[in-house]
Amino acid sequence: MFTRVAIVNRGEAAMRLIHAVRDLAAETGARIETVALYTDVDRSAAFVREADLSYDLGPASARPYLDLEVLERALVETGADAAWVGWGFVAEDPAFAELCEKVGVTFVGPSAEAMRKLGDKIGAKLIAEEVGVPVAPWSRGAVETLDAALASASEIG
C-alpha cells in the first residue's frame, strides 16, 4: 500500500484523486497522504488546499508538468512512493513512467511499454484483434494515398 501519492495533475482531476484516496484510507484504515504538485497559477486552488502536502513546481509559464527534471525533483523531495497522473499529457508520456521506476516511485497507470504499444493506433488495433476484441472494419494498416483509401473503403463497404 502507498503512504504518499504525488498528484501530477491539477483541478478536477486532482480533486478526484484526493477524494478517492480519502475514501480508500477510510475503508482500509491506512494512512495515505496526498501531495499536490502545483504551479504559481494554482497556488490557492482547491486541490492545493485540500491535499495533505503541496509542492511548488515553479511558474506555469515554464511548463513544469512537462519537465522530467522538475518532476523528478518533486517526487524525490516530497518522499512520494506513488505518482498519479490522471489524464492529459503526462499520463500519455512513457518517459514519465520510466522516470518513476528510476526513482523508486510506483507509477499508478500502465507501463511505459504498454503506453508505447497502445499509443500507436494501428498497433493498438492489431493487438485488440489478436486478443479477440471486436473492432470495426478497417484497412489493417496505414492508408498513404487517396487511391489506397478509396480501395480500402470499397473493400470495407
Rounded average pLDDT over 7-13: 96
With a cut of 80, say whether residue 119 has pLDDT above it. no
- State the Cα–Cα distance between residues 153 and 138, nearest whole angstrom: 8
The confidence score (pLDDT) of residue 58 equals: 96
Mean pLDDT in the chain? 93
- Enumerate the H helices of 29-145 as residue ranges: 46-50, 68-78, 94-103, 112-119, 121-130
Helix crossing, 121-130 with 112-119: angle to 10°? 100
Global confidence as pTM: 0.79
Q: Which amino acid is at 157?
A: G
Which domains does the chain carry? 4-110 (3.40.50.20), 120-156 (no CATH)
Give yes or no for residue 57 having a pLDDT over 80. yes
Structure confidence by residue, pLDDT tens digits, 59-80:
999 999 999 999 999 999 999 9
pLDDT at 47: 98
Inform me whether the pLDDT recorded for 118 exceeds 80: no
| pLDDT confidence bin for 51, thresholds 50/70/90 | very high
**Could you tell me the end-to-end alpha-carbon distance of the chain, in angstroms, rounded to an integer?**
51
